[in-house]
């Protein structure tokens, strides 16, 4: 009876915590701000889905394959991003499950539940674990390898799978070799205890698995017509990575001091314990029975971060889980000894609450301040203002994957930005002149462009907001000549009713003012008497082909020419926002 009651209690607690965490992760996956790298992944998936790999630069990863299927029939960008985040969320939960299993605990036990809760409350995984990026699928492969080879003595089949997974991870993220090669050497040179098969047979099985996976991927890429695209993208990224400016990892690692202090303390204790064991026992301590394997795995992941020329915080996704494996195995052994003494139990619970769960809550709570509402709104407005075939959208990121970009080199990245800054073939102003975008979405990435590009944009585009510009021009009082560089529908009207940035109050400000003051009389739209190329303008929204025009109005009227898109009467109002907050790397 006691055993049954314990099982019921365990199941109830597990279901309640699982429901709470599932609900939280669903909310964050759906509403948290998108990273620029996520947009790049979705845009490339769309390129592959439409068979446009020869038209735009692509860096093909196996991670994109499920996204290609989603992107093929996508009509709206916001819905495509939401679907891609759902795929990433499934990978996130799979990683949590594999991480809990990798501790060696049975999930249907209190210790297994403790292992899962600990894994599910690692703040860096909530920062980046359900983002649309290949790092998370890389983590899946590494955890699967560890579960396959560490939890029980592996056989020939396990080594064949190990070889296949290593190759698959190379096509998922090339940097995976930093993790997989040391692991493969460790398992081949020092097979785990209980393996009775000769090393040469294990090595042969590993080689066969690796070759079979390479052949499968090669044939699949060849059948899809993207093998040459993969090679060119790989070469371009490799060359660009060689000239990438380095920065130290201390800022990234410093986040762990506030996000996972208990984890750091346990890792430090575990490393000291392993070092002491090696000093005391020497070669006798070298084996798979203690904490040494987890320590080596953690040090490999740490070294991978340290040698990374651009150790952005999302790289913690491939470090913190392996720190957790080491910390959990060390901490659970210490806890088993200390918990037996009731006097220490309040101290242990206090440490868990204030050194793990409270930092986790504080680190995760901040995501509520960074929603993706602005990004999704701009996606929808850009789609309203453009035709999917005729009207390109440019942002250097790939935020609107349902629309074409302006050039083969469509994205701006730290890997290639120097090519746009130097005087050479890659100049955004030339790209826009040859293939004008109807909409330009500005962010910190476009801020990297030289001033000549920004001046070109100011001459041919007008802002609906700081981060959202459309084709158009503001003319002087009385009118003047203007040039149309991209054919389509334009709205000709006085500046006061153009919906350009600064021509109206925000809806929130207007609402607050209306509550303070009596309701004012509705504003009467100013009369607009104008001629276009000498003919009376009878309709403010007109279809204009490429060419030069002259718009004349009353002397006290400052007219505007603003892109209206294929269906709208005029460009809609877009609330004001700082372009530097549209995408944020460090927060």
Which residues, at least 6 apart from 328, have a Cβ–Cβ distance to it below 8 Å? Answer: 103, 115, 118, 266
| Residue 510 predicted with pLDDT over 50 | no
| Residue 175 predicted with pLDDT over 50 | yes
Residue 345: phi and psi, rounded to 5, are -65, -45
How many Cα atoms are found within 13 Å in the side-chain-facing hemisphere of 106? Answer: 4
How many whole angstroms separate alpha carbon 371 and alpha carbon 223? 40
Q: Do 37 and 94 form a contact (C-beta atoms < 8 A)?
A: no
Q: Do 447 and 418 form a contact (C-beta atoms < 8 A)?
A: no
580 bridge partner residues? none
Taking residues 425-445, report their average pLDDT: 95
Q: Do 531 and 494 form a contact (C-beta atoms < 8 A)?
A: no
How many whole angstroms separate alpha carbon 286 and alpha carbon 299? 16
For the CA atoms of 494, 499, 500, 503, what is the dihedral angle to 10 degrees?
70
Q: Per the structure block, which two tokens stand in for 324?
A: 């957790």
- Lowest mean pLDDT, pick from 10-14, 20-24, 248-252, 327-331: 10-14
Percentages (nearest 5) of helix, strand, coil residues in the chain: 60, 10, 30
Helices (H), 366-400: 373-384
- Which pLDDT value is given to residue 361? 94
- Which pLDDT value is given to residue 522? 46
Q: Per the structure block, which two tokens stand in for 424?
A: 């050479």
Q: For 479, left (φ over 0), alpha (ψ -120 to 50), or beta?
A: left
User: Of 368, 409, 384, 369, which Cα lies nearest the Cα of 77?
Assistant: 384
Q: Where does the pLDDT of residue 30 fall: very low under 50, low under 70, confident under 90, or very high at 90 and above?
A: very high
- Lowest mean pLDDT, pick from 230-234, 440-444, 462-466, 574-578: 230-234
- Which pLDDT value is given to residue 244? 58
Residue with the two structure tokens 């293939």: 435
Give the mean pLDDT of the chain: 90
Residue 316: phi and psi, rounded to 5, are -65, -20
Residue 217: phi and psi, rounded to 5, are -65, -40
Q: Where does the pLDDT of residue 302 fall: very low under 50, low under 70, confident under 90, or very high at 90 and above?
A: very high
Assessment of whether the complete model's pTM goes beyond 0.85: yes
Share of the chain above pLDDT 70, in %: 94
How many whole angstroms separate alpha carbon 306 and alpha carbon 178? 11
- Which pLDDT value is given to residue 195? 86
How many whole angstroms separate alpha carbon 271 and alpha carbon 182? 19
How many whole angstroms separate alpha carbon 144 and alpha carbon 101? 9
| Residue 194 predicted with pLDDT over 90 | no
Annotate 164-231 with three-state secondary structure: HHHHHHHHHCHHHHHHHHHHHHHHHHCCCCCCCCCHHHHHHHHHHHHHHHHHHHHHHHHHCCCHHHHH
Taking residues 82-101, report their average pLDDT: 96
Taking residues 523-537, report their average pLDDT: 80
Burial of 133 by CB count in 10 Å (0-12 exposed, 13-18 middle, 19+ buried)? buried
User: Of 317, 240, 230, 221, which Cα lies nearest the Cα of 54?
Assistant: 230
Q: For 534, left (φ over 0), alpha (ψ -120 to 50), or beta?
A: left
Question: What's 53's DSSP letter?
Answer: T
How many whole angstroms separate alpha carbon 101 and alpha carbon 281? 30
Strand, helix or coil for residue 252? helix
How many whole angstroms separate alpha carbon 168 and alpha carbon 174? 10
């Amino acid at each position: 009876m006691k055993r049954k009651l314990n099982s019921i209690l365990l199941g109830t607690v597990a279901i309640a915590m699982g429901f709470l965490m599932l609900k939280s992760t669903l909310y964050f996956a759906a509403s948290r701000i998108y990273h620029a790298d996520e947009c790049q992944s979705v845009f490339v998936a769309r390129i592959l889905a439409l068979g446009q790999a020869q038209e735009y630069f692509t860096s093909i990863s196996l991670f994109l394959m499920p996204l290609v299927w989603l992107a093929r029939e996508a009509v709206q960008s916001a819905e495509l991003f939401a679907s891609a985040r759902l795929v990433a969320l499934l990978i996130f939960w799979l990683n949590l499950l594999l991480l809990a299993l990798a501790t060696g605990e049975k999930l249907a036990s209190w210790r297994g539940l403790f292992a899962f809760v600990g894994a599910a409350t690692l703040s860096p995984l909530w920062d980046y674990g359900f983002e649309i990026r290949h790092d998370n699928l890389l983590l899946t492969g590494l955890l699967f390898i560890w579960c396959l080879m560490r939890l029980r003595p592996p056989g020939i089949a396990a080594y064949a799978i190990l070889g296949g997974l290593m190759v698959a991870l190379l096509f998922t993220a090339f940097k995976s070799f930093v993790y997989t090669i040391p692991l493969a050497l460790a398992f081949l040179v020092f097979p785990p205890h209980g393996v009775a098969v000769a090393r040469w047979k294990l090595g042969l099985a590993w080689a066969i698995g690796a070759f079979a996976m390479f052949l499968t991927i090669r044939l699949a890429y060849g059948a899809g017509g993207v093998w040459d695209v993969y090679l060119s993208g790989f070469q371009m990224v490799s060359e660009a990575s060689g000239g990438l400016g380095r920065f130290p990892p201390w800022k990234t690692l410093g986040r762990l001091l506030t996000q996972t202090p208990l984890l750091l303390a346990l890792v430090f204790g575990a490393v000291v314990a392993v070092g002491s064991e090696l000093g005391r026992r020497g070669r006798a301590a070298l084996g798979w029975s203690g904490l040494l394997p987890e320590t080596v795995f953690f040090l490999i992941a740490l070294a991978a971060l340290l040698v990374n020329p651009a150790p952005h915080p999302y790289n913690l996704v491939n470090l913190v889980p392996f720190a957790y494996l080491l910390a959990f195995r060390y901490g659970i052994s210490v806890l088993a000894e200390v918990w037996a003494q009731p006097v220490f139990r309040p101290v242990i619970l206090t440490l868990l609450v204030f050194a793990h769960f409270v930092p986790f809550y504080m680190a995760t709570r901040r995501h509520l301040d960074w929603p993706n509402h602005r990004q999704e709104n701009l996606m929808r407005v850009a789609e309203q203002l453009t035709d999917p075939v005729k009207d390109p959208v440019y942002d250097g990121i790939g935020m609107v994957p349902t629309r074409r970009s302006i050039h083969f080199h469509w994205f701006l990245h730290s890997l290639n930005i120097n090519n746009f800054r130097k005087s050479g073939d890659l100049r955004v102003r030339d790209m826009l002149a040859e293939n004008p975008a109807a909409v330009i979405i500005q962010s910190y990435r476009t801020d990297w462009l030289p001033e000549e590009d920004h001046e070109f944009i100011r001459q041919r585009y007008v802002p609906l907001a700081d981060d959202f510009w459309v084709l158009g021009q503001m003319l002087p009082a009385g009118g003047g000549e203007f040039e149309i560089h991209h054919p389509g529908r334009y709205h000709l009207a006085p500046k006061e009713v153009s919906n350009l940035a600064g021509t109206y109050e925000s809806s929130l400000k207007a609402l607050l003012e209306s509550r303070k003051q009596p309701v004012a009389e509705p504003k009467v739209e100013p009369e607009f008497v104008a001629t276009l190329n000498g003919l009376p303008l009878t309709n403010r929204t007109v279809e204009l082909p490429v060419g030069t025009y002259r718009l004349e109005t009353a002397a006290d009227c400052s007219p505007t020419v603003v892109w209206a898109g294929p269906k709208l009467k005029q460009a809609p109002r877009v609330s004001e926002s700082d372009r530097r907050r549209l995408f944020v790397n460090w927060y």
